[in-house]
Structure 1
Amino acid sequence: MSHTEPQSLTVHAVDATPFGSLSDSLIARGDHALFGVSTGNSYFSRRRLTEALSWALVRFEAVDVVHADLYLDAMCEALGYGPEDARRSAAKQVRGVRRRIQGALEDIGGAATRVRARPLSAFVEQPAYQDVLGRARAALGTDTELRAVRDEMAHRFLSARLGPGVPPTGDQVRTAQAYIDAELPFFLDTPAILGVASSVHCYHSVLALGRLLFGDRATGLRPADTQGYAVVACQN
């Protein structure tokens, strides 16, 4: 499905590659696209967000941007900040992400009214999010492959901040795991959380969780049939 391009919208060059057996058809349906933006992700600059969201607005009926804001202060404390410094650092990181998103929406113009931008914390009290999160946590208890990929992502996250040869503490590992777990529902069943018919999770690369969940798994946790994944990379 394609959508009429609003006069105020300039479409930039974007390479979009579906990942997973159902993702191509879900892109073609064009119901919904989700972009996740984290504080540690420098790829989605204001300019690239403008380009990626402009692409999505032409191809999807609805677009959401969710930015990570959970466990940031806890992570800063786990990395050695005092409580007050941790809160300040987390707040600064979140403000920076919000500025990027807001700047992109301003650059898009009138078409940006079709984009909903919210923090991850806006969903934590919602029953649908809690239901998907509960299923994910239950699976992490029995799905050894899923748990191994989650744990490896947590260690990579920490290694980038601790430096080479510095082993993470137990508190640091648990906080990094919680950070990743909070985002996991949007890999599994965004349609249930946001109330859309189908959704495509858009990112600039295939994350390890995406590679596992949207690959050809014979057993273990799988995304909903209405959940897709796409690599959306800006050409500039």
Structure 2
Amino acid sequence: MSQLSTISYVDSFRQPPTPCDFSEKNQCKELYISGATPRCESIIQQGEHALIGISPFNSQFSKTYVTSLVNFIARRFKRFDILMPCLSEASRLLIATGMEEKKAIKKTRRELRRHKTHLTYLLSLYELRSTPAKIIQFSDFIDNTSYKSLNFEAKKAFANCSRFRQDCLTMSQMAVRGRLRGKGRQDSELKSQLVNDALPYIFAELPFFLDTPSLLNVPYSTFFYHRVWPIGEGLYKGHYPVKVKPKQSYGLISLR
């Protein structure tokens, strides 16, 4: 599958990006959001619920950016929550790039704690809302019936659909390669086993990309992230057996 660039993905949206200006010095001045499809844009405009994806070990998620992002989303949506990976899934990327497991877990625990401390403070500013925002993690849903069903659906598609399998592997490869380059290492160190080792992170996150409303009991929801998911195009165009549910949308957050 050919990958869409961020620019072409944004330009394909029906509505123009919506700006939000901040005067505080410790915040980004402008953020824009765009829906992945006209239907996604329609769901975003309803302003029901937003799920903000936070990635540990990603320089994009500085305190400045996260502060701006949370404030921006809180102003636009009736409800919002924050999604973070759990310790076991987040540490996989470090292990996949050659870090010793014990060290990877220790470093991941510290990184997750850093994000949670800052996010807890930010969310306290909105705790008087009728439905306070929460920090949720993959592991919180391990016994959730809908989550298990969506996770199984994704793994079944991976086993039976060569196109979906290849696109998931490409997505995992991109994540591992990015981590290797971030550590000044070469692409020649990228092995197929490392790519496979990072796959569970994708399967753990996919249910929230497919059907957050069923997981969080909200009427509609938009998953927000700062870049295009490599498998996003295929999901929204119906290229795979696994489908995005009608009340779910995807939104791209960008700085301009």
Measured against the shorter chain, the TM-score band is 0.7 to 0.9
- Residue 219 of structure 2 corresponds to 197
Structure 1 gaps, min length 5: 1-9
Deviates more, 1:164-173 or 1:191-200: 164-173
- Residue 176 of structure 2 corresponds to 158
Say whether the 8 Å CA contact 1:36–1:203 is kept in structure 2.
Answer: yes
- Residue 23 of structure 2 corresponds to none
Aligned residues, how many?
A: 223
Q: CA deviation at 1:93?
A: 2.1
C-alpha distance 141-86 of structure 1, shift in aligned 2 (>3 A): same
User: SS at the partner of 1:137?
Assistant: helix
Query: What TM-score comes out, normalization by structure 2 length?
Result: 0.77
- Residue 161 of structure 2 corresponds to 143
- Residue 52 of structure 2 corresponds to 35
- Residue 238 of structure 2 corresponds to 217
- Residue 172 of structure 1 corresponds to 194
2:109 partner amino acid:
A
- Residue 206 of structure 1 corresponds to 228
Instruction: Find the partner of 1:13 among 30, 38, 56.
Output: 30
Instruction: Find the partner of 2:254 among 227, 233, 236.
Output: 233
Distance 1:115 1:78 in 2: 32
Q: CA deviation at 1:47?
A: 2.2
Instruction: Find the partner of 1:134 among 149, 152, 166.
Output: 152
User: SS at the partner of 2:223?
Assistant: strand
CA deviation map 1:116-145 (0-9, x unaligned) = 112222122222211111111111122222
Instruction: Find the partner of 1:44 among 61, 65, 74.
Output: 61
Distance 2:197 2:128 in 1: 34
- Residue 85 of structure 1 corresponds to 103
- Deviating beyond 4 angstroms after TM superposition, the runs of 4 or more aligned structure 1 residues are none
Say whether the 8 Å CA contact 1:12–1:54 is kept in structure 2.
Answer: no
Q: CA deviation at 1:188?
A: 0.6
Distance 1:60 1:78 in 2: 37
C-alpha distance 14-221 of structure 1, shift in aligned 2 (>3 A): same
User: SS at the partner of 1:80?
Assistant: coil
CA deviation map 1:27-67 (0-9, x unaligned) = 12222101111113222322222222222222222101011
Deviates more, 1:204-213 or 1:158-167: 158-167
Q: CA deviation at 1:12?
A: 6.5
User: SS at the partner of 1:66?
Assistant: strand
Percent identity of the aligned residues?
A: 24
2:244 partner amino acid:
P
Structure 2 gaps, min length 5: 1-26
